[in-house]
Amino acid sequence: MKSDHPLTQLEADEQAEVLRNKLNKWANEYYVHDQPSVEDSVYDQAYQELVNLETDFPEIITPESPTQKVGDQTLSVLSKVTHTIPMLSLGDVFSKTELYEFINHLTKDGYPYDYNCELKIDGLAISLRYEKGKFVQGSTRGNGRIGEDITKNLETIKSIPKKLSKPIDIEVRGECYMPKSSFAELNEARQDNGEAPFANPRNAAAGSLRQLDPKVTAKRKLSTFMYNVADYSQVEATTQTELLQELAELGFNVNPEFRPVNSVDELNQYLDEFETRRDDLSYGIDGIVVKLNPLTDHGTLGATVKVPRWAIAYKFAPEEAETIVNDIEWTVGRTGVVTPTAVMDPVILAGTTVARASLHNPDYLIQKDIRLGDTVKLHKAGDIIPEISEYIPSKRPKDSQSYPIITHCPSCDSKLVHLDGEIALRCINPMCPAQLSEGLTHYASRDAMNIDGLGPKIVAQLFEKQLVNDVAGLYNLTFDELLTLDKFGEKSANNLLAAIDNSKANSLERLIYGLGIRHVGAKAARLIAQKVNDMDTLMQATSEEIAQINSLGLVIADSISTYFATEQAKKLIQQLKAAGVNMKYLGKSSTPSNSFFTDKRIVLTGKLADLSRSQVSEWLENQGAKVSSSVSKKTDLVIVGEDPGSKYDKALELSIEIWDESHLKQVMQQEN
């Protein structure tokens, strides 16, 4: 200890105890409840302060200190798994200077400049155990020595192979993550259902993996990247680069962006490239992992009680911007959930201009204590969703007052309610104009009735001019009525009328999804339509009968039966029938046994010019194909559009058959 240190040992001990209490509380929120109350950067800063104190005063270190433990905690309700070989976390550095210090230290100790760089995936660490090539157990990292058994949940994730290409015994470790698109869909659905949104994709993935019901996990569209093994004697590889290649050959999903580097320039190039590209990736990353490449060096260097000495995580600085809250607007969704949104001075964040950020629900607004006139720190949760992390107390206006929570619907003035078990405020007036307007927009959307040209602005005008009251009213619109809309000429009116008329011929699954029944997504709607074949059968089905359809479950089944039990729904269906809307399933009820696509693993990549990705995926699945998100040796066919990227390159490398969009369209016409 230095004699000129500004703190005494007693003062350092007191400060350390305050930091430990904070960090343990935040870790419990993050790891156990999957709902952090502070940003990662706030936790990292406090953690580094504690590390500095304990470095200067080693006498104050306690066994319970967060610096002496591997991060995650286990849930008491899940079975436990003991890691024979501990699952360690990585040490963190927050600047290039610190990263170079780590590398220089290894270089001075005689280790050559031979590293493998990988992306630091923002997910949950998992371990997969195989016996004779068959998946037998999967677990979380937990506290590094004891994790949670989540085998049944992991079995629902498509990127995890149930059988390897070789009949070997092996334990593979990696990251389970939630793609950005899945994260956005999940939070939107949670808000519609009156549930608290997840703070970021990592917590969404953790919450999804720790479900007691695997069906819930299956719906969350999780994926994985594997990057290590518990015991190097289980593989033939001699370097980390070769290990990743070997894992891919065994059938695991490996992040394709890894790269060996042999100089400072190559390392800098990798760091700079992915700090720039991180926003364009389909998954979240929060840094770069740098590992010594020779696996023998890993064994030689070993690890501390918490982290390996042969690897380090370089964490990106959080991208934040300061802005001022000018207003808080309340909007009503199609399920009646009323959501506060902060309206701010526009700022550039992660390459886009941001002027609005959801405040999710009243509890969130109260917890963050956001007020009009506040200067706030803004970031993007999961690199995609604008979110306010905190207000800046020193810049709060002196006359500032807490923002009042509304009690009545901003659209229809009905009294708002909290339904049982919900944190959301909800308008339960079935004739609320805002809900009807949102419902009609959903009905016209691409995955529903696909009425081209009928977007939110046109829908708002239709309601404002009282030309429609519900979706059935669309089919009574006239040419002259449409001409009264702003910027609507004869061509626009004719095009919209044609699109509305075309929607009458849609298959039943589109109508079911378009009705906006709570919990019923596009995939569930298709499974239901395939089974019941017509609307009358669905309306007469009991909740128990619906629940049996492809194991949809009682939540979806109860929602459907409750919906069709209302007089309003029955009247709406009769009106749609009278308008000539098709009520039958027009697709193939069973997979053709002689289809070229039966049991084929197919990957779509790049931008399609004439077909939508969802349209192609649905058609392929109807033909019996399995549509996958990643290319591996098990992939049978890759269909490419414009700018196909790394998946196309990997398909070429593995000599996998490749079709362009033109060839696909020809085959689709022949099969139909």
Q: Tell me if 1 is assigned to some domain.
A: no
- Kindly tell me if the per-residue pLDDT of 2 is higher than 50: no
Residue type at 413 in one-letter notation: D
Instruction: Give domain status of residue 583, yes or no.
Output: no
Taking CA 7 as the corner, what is the angle to CA 3 and CA 13, rounded to the nearest 5 degrees? Answer: 115
Domain CATH code at residue 393: 2.40.50.140
- Residue 499 sits at the vertex; the CA angle it makes with 614 and 667, to the nearest 5 degrees, is 40
Q: How confident is the prediction for the chain on average, in pLDDT?
A: 85
107 lies in the same domain as 183: yes
Q: What is the pLDDT of residues 130-163, one digit of tens each?
A: 999 999 999 999 888 888 899 999 998 989 999 9
Q: What is the CATH number of the domain that holds 25?
A: 1.10.287.610
Does the pLDDT value for residue 5 go beyond 60? no
- Both 398 and 327 in a single domain? yes
Quick one: average pLDDT of 519-539? Answer: 89
Last residue of a domain, one of 280, 315, 350: 315
- Decide: helix, strand or coil at residue 100: helix
How does DSSP classify residue 576? H
Contact 313, 289 (CB under 8 A): yes
306 lies in the same domain as 325: no
Task: Give the domain extent around 656.
Answer: 601-671
* In-domain check, residue 595: no
Distance CA 369, CA 628 (A): 43
In a domain, 150, yes or no: yes
b vs e for 303-330, b when ≥16 Cβ sit within 10 Å of the residue's Cβ? eeebbbbbbbbbbbeebbbebebeebeb
pLDDT tens digits along 272-284:
999 888 878 889 8
Most confident option among 11-20, 276-285, 532-541, 547-556: 532-541
pLDDT at res. 361: 87
Catalytic residue among 22, 120, 531, 647: 120
Rg (C-alpha) for the chain, rounded Å, is: 28
Q: Are residues 139 and 239 in the same domain?
A: yes
Q: What is the pTM of this model?
A: 0.52
Query: Could you give the CA distance from residue 391 to residue 384 in angstroms, rounded to a whole number?
Result: 20
75 assigned to some structural domain: no
180 tagged catalytic: no
- Residue found under tokens 């001022």: 324
Half-sphere exposure of 40 (CA within 13 A, CB side): 24
Residues 89 and 55 placed together within one structural domain of the fold: no
Instruction: Tell me how far CA of residue 216 lies from CA of 152, 205, 362, 553, 669, in angstroms.
Output: 11, 12, 26, 10, 36
Domains: count for the chain: 5
**Interacting residues of 283 by C-beta distance below 8 A, sequence separation 6+:** 121, 122, 177, 178, 179, 180, 201, 223
Structure tokens at 610: 């004439």
Compute the distance between CA of residue 208 and CA of residue 45 in angstroms, rounded to an integer.
28
Tell me: do 617 and 524 sit in the same domain: no
Last residue of a domain, one of 409, 426, 443: 426
What is the end-to-end Cα distance of the chain in Å, rounded?
79
For residue 327, which amino acid is it? D
**Chain-centre distance of CA 271, in angstroms?**
24
pLDDT of 47 reads 77
Indicate which CATH number applies to the domain containing 521: 1.10.150.20
Q: Residues 438-459: pLDDT tens digits?
A: 899 999 998 899 999 898 889 9
Q: Please list, residue by residue across 573-610, b when 16 or more beta carbons sit within 10 angstroms of its beta carbon and e when fewer do.
A: bebbeebebbbebeeeeeeeeebebeebbbbbbbebee
Q: Are 103 and 174 in contact (CB under 8 A)?
A: no
Task: Indicate which CATH number applies to the domain containing 619.
Answer: 3.40.50.10190
CA distance 603 to 633: 12
Question: Are 263 and 284 in a shared domain?
Answer: yes
308 and 378 share a domain? no
| Same-domain pairing of 402 and 439 | no
Stated as kind and residue range, the H or E segment containing 385 is strand 385-391
Taking alpha carbons only, the member of 656, 645, 660 closest to residue 609 is: 660
Instruction: Give the whole-angstrom CA distance, residue 277 versus residue 350.
Output: 10
Model confidence band, residue 532 (pLDDT cutoffs 50, 70, 90)? very high
User: Could you tell me the CATH number of the domain that includes residue 140?
Assistant: 3.30.470.30
Could you tell me which residue, 74 or 358, shows the higher pLDDT? 358
The listed range with the strongest mean pLDDT (79-83, 534-538, 621-625) is: 534-538
Residue 587 lies in a domain: no
Structure tokens at 154: 């992991």
Residue positions counted in the chain = 672
43 & 114 share domain: no
Segment 345-362 shows an average pLDDT of 83
Any domain includes 3: no
Mean predicted confidence (pLDDT) in 623-646: 82
Q: Residue 31 gets which letter from DSSP?
A: I
402, part of any domain: yes
Q: Are 411 and 523 in a shared domain?
A: no
Residue 200 has pLDDT above 90, yes or no: no
Q: Which of 298, 315, 332 represents a domain boundary (last residue)?
A: 315
Stretch 3-10: mean pLDDT: 64
Output the pLDDT for position 29: 65
User: Do both 291 and 410 map to the same domain?
Assistant: no
